[in-house]
Amino acid sequence: MALAASTFVFADYWKTIPSDTPVTFVGRSSCIDCHQEQSTLWTGSHHDKAMELATDETVLGNFDDAQIEHDGMVSRMFRDDKRFMIHTEGESGEMQDFEIKYVFGVDPLQQYMVEFDRDASLQPGEVPRLQVLRISWDTHRKRWFYLRPPDVKDKLQPGDPLHWTGIAQRWQTMCADCHSTNLVTNFDTNSNRYHTTFSEMNVSCEACHGPGSMHVELAKSKRLFWDRIHGYGLAKLKGESSEAQLQACAPCHSRRGVLEQGFVAGQKYHDFFNLELLQDETYYHDGQIKDEVYVFGSFTQSKMYHKGVRCTDCHDPHSLKLKHQGNETCTSCHQHPAGKYDVPSHHRHAVGTEAALCVNCHMPGRTYMDVDFRRDHSFRVPRPDMSVDLGTPNACSSCHVKDRIEQVPVEQRESLQEYADWLNAAERGDQWIAGLIRETDKWCADASDKWYGADREKPEHFGHALAALRAGDPAGVQKALAFAMRRDGLTPAIGRATALDNLAARGIDAAAKAGAELIADATEHPMVRAAAVRALSTGNPSNTKRILLPLISDPSRLVRDEATRLLASGGMYQTLSASEQSQVDLALREVKETLMVTADRAGAHMQWAAICEQRGRIAEAIQAYETAIRIEPKMAGPRTNLAALLDDVAQRGDDRARVKAETLRRDELPLLARDANLAPDIAIIQYRYGLALYLSGDLTAALSRLERAVELDPTAQDYQLAVRLLKEKIAGGGND
């Protein structure tokens, strides 16, 4: 009998589900019976309330014939029997009634979505184009407000991408994959229609744990053991390494591009996503948040990340709430020795005040979407000394700059409610405000020296290198190279990759050498290796080709993607042998798949058109540019590129191509003018508009825009060359 029992137990253990068994999404209802506690915690959470149908229970806004005025027009929110309605400006510019189909979020604001393009081609369970209204409900102050884009003061016209009916406010392009479970966009480029599907409307169990069919099958089988190969049939998020959990959370809590749809927990983040680096527009030089970057890019800069801290050390994974209140969230770990941190001798402020809260010194934040305050998750020590040197923000000045409000003209005080308002005013050129910030930074730095000693360690930060490099300081090159090559396991990969990218963007030859060395190390972080590939663009083409060709089959999709794009670019592709070109063509299929993940954006088709053009596939390039124009007819860019390509075709005697190129440029000019006027402080936009004005024959206006581009980015050699050549042409009496 013992032998029989042993045989039964062994057979039960040995039995396994075939590895090729497909896993599917089964829905939260399959989880509740066994996981009632987790379901209770999740119910009512931000994940639960991420997206819902508009009903009496879910709509928080006042639709009792309420009104809001903005930009000289009045929008009205009202009920039509059970339907929630809004009377506002539509795509045509006329005031229309629209039904609210879905609500988005619950706190601190709720947004509302309207459905477009529903037709007979839509199958049951498919969702057509959804547009998110800019008129939103402030759930704290119980008021309607108009969510104006940053730095946009004028009325948004219908047809503008930022208008609520435009692509920047489209659910599918901006929101959907992080607010629903198992989302598939299903955009048809031929009909310009969406057939979007999801398994659950909100962020449910399987959004974080992965498809649950195998787990449910194993749980229902009543076997003695979980599967010896597949475990309990879900991603293991509680292991010794924090990476599995972090990479499960990161897709929706990061600012990133998408390499491939279909990510599920347990897979590698960088095989599906391309994390945005520390761009000047989104982060300060030292990596502090500027624009909304959704946490992960900040967190990877922190000591906590490098020491294995994970999201659930602070947040409950199901309710999403903090596990403790106040400083206890931090002192539950930072308690050795007892009383070291949560005492005035450390924080230098009165106990029980806002200034004594750990997060206000180590997690300063900014308000986005007018009402949504979000904290920086890089968990840094305040460095007012760096603010003095680099002009970066610091937590000390974020409070103490407000002590200088009496020195601000009365009419300006109302606009300086938050530290970010002061910073933005200074960035817009307000020298008086900038001076007050500098005085505050110096005062805070002096106070820190007094408290902690002027001779205390002030470690060199990658922010010093990036600031010097971006300012054109020759010393910045060596500093940036040193940080890029620092492989100590503690220097943030996102900072190292950013340093490499900035070096390559400035054509620094040494970037290629550094890139080659970093690429050779297969243990390097994928972000660093991908940036190293891009850095090769500054090196010797024959040597670059030798390094790149093996990388088109690299284990990392992020690295493969960058290597293949570089091999297909410029003159590189033409230097390849027929056999090598075939290898690259094969690898480009994956690149095209990546681009077509966002097939509803013109940029995807423009990038593919450029790749086709560089490989001599002119007809395919023209088709891709035309698709880009059809998908986003109000976008500046694709017409200019197509016109340049048609100019080349026209040189071979095709008069129709010449005429079409002229028409495209004429149609493009007002779009470029719109963008240049809306974004007067973005160098590349001024540069592109300047070139277009030159081609239209308006040399004086062209020179003005090109000089503005140089003023905004004096390190860009292309801008300087364009100004010099145009000045020579004007001086020589050129008129075209």
Q: Is the pTM of this model over 0.95?
A: no
pLDDT tens, residue by residue, 668-684: 999 999 899 888 889 99
Q: What is the mean pLDDT of residues 539-554?
A: 93
Q: Judge if 309 and 424 occupy the same domain.
A: yes
Q: Judge if 316 and 425 occupy the same domain.
A: yes
Q: Judge if 441 and 327 occupy the same domain.
A: yes
Residue 345 lies in a domain: yes
Q: Judge if 157 and 303 occupy the same domain.
A: no
Give Cβ neighbours of residue 73 (< 8 Å, ≥ 6 apart): 88, 89, 95
pLDDT tens, residue by residue, 246-285: 999 999 999 999 999 999 999 999 999 999 999 999 999 9
Among the candidates 429, 446, 463, a domain finishes at: 446
Q: Closest Cα to residue 209, out of 228, 187, 235?
A: 235
Domain that residue 413 falls in = 274-446
Q: What is the pLDDT of residue 225?
A: 67
Residue 66 lies in a domain: yes
pLDDT tens, residue by residue, 304-354: 999 999 999 999 999 999 999 999 999 999 886 667 889 998 999 999 999
Q: What is the pLDDT of residue 152?
A: 84
> In the structure encoding, which two tokens stand for residue 499, read together?
């340093």
Q: Judge if 158 and 280 occupy the same domain.
A: no
Residue 634 lies in a domain: no
Q: Judge if 194 and 319 occupy the same domain.
A: no
Q: Closest Cα to residue 178, out of 267, 263, 282, 243?
A: 263
Q: How many angstroms separate the CA atoms of 137 and 14, rounded?
A: 56
Q: CATH number, domain at 705?
A: 1.25.40.10
Q: Judge if 313 and 435 occupy the same domain.
A: yes
Residue 727 lies in a domain: yes
- Asked whether residue 17 carries a pLDDT value surpassing 80, the answer given is no
> In the structure encoding, which two tokens stand for residue 122, read together?
């839509």
Residue 724 lies in a domain: yes
Cβ proximity of 503 and 480 under 8 Å = yes
Among the candidates 202, 222, 239, a domain finishes at: 202
Q: What is the mean pLDDT of residues 522-533?
A: 97
pLDDT-derived band at 21 (thresholds 50, 70, 90) equals confident
- Asked whether residue 602 carries a pLDDT value surpassing 70, the answer given is yes
Give Cβ neighbours of residue 726 (< 8 Å, ≥ 6 apart): 694, 699, 702, 703, 706
Residue 191 lies in a domain: yes
- Asked whether residue 736 carries a pLDDT value surpassing 60, the answer given is no
367 strand-pairing partners: 373
Give Cβ neighbours of residue 625 (< 8 Å, ≥ 6 apart): 605, 606, 609, 638, 641, 642, 645
Q: Left (φ > 0), alpha (ψ -120 to 50) or beta: where does 151 sit?
A: left
Q: What is the pLDDT of residue 435?
A: 97
Burial of 206 (0-12, 13-18, 19+ CB in 10 A): buried
Q: Judge if 155 and 291 occupy the same domain.
A: no
User: What is the domain count for the chain?
Assistant: 3
Q: Judge if 278 and 421 occupy the same domain.
A: yes
Q: Judge if 196 and 278 occupy the same domain.
A: no
> In the structure encoding, which two tokens stand for residue 465, read together?
């290198």
DSSP string, 260-293: -S---TTS-GGGTEEE----TTTB-TTS-BSS--
Q: Judge if 106 and 190 occupy the same domain.
A: yes
Q: Judge if 315 and 422 occupy the same domain.
A: yes
Residue 291 lies in a domain: yes
Quick one: angle between helices 578-596 and 557-567, nearest 10?
Answer: 120
Q: What is the pLDDT of residue 10?
A: 53
Among the candidates 183, 202, 221, a domain finishes at: 202
pLDDT tens, residue by residue, 390-406: 999 999 999 999 999 99
pLDDT, the chain, mean: 93
Residue 116 lies in a domain: yes
Cβ proximity of 211 and 26 under 8 Å = yes
Q: What is the pLDDT of residue 7?
A: 65
Which DSSP state fits 154? S
Q: In degrees to the nearest 10, what's the CA dihedral of 390, 393, 399, 400? A: 10
Q: What is the pLDDT of residue 154?
A: 86
Q: Strand, helix or coil at 530?
A: helix
Q: What is the pLDDT of residue 221?
A: 86
Share of the chain above pLDDT 90, in %: 84
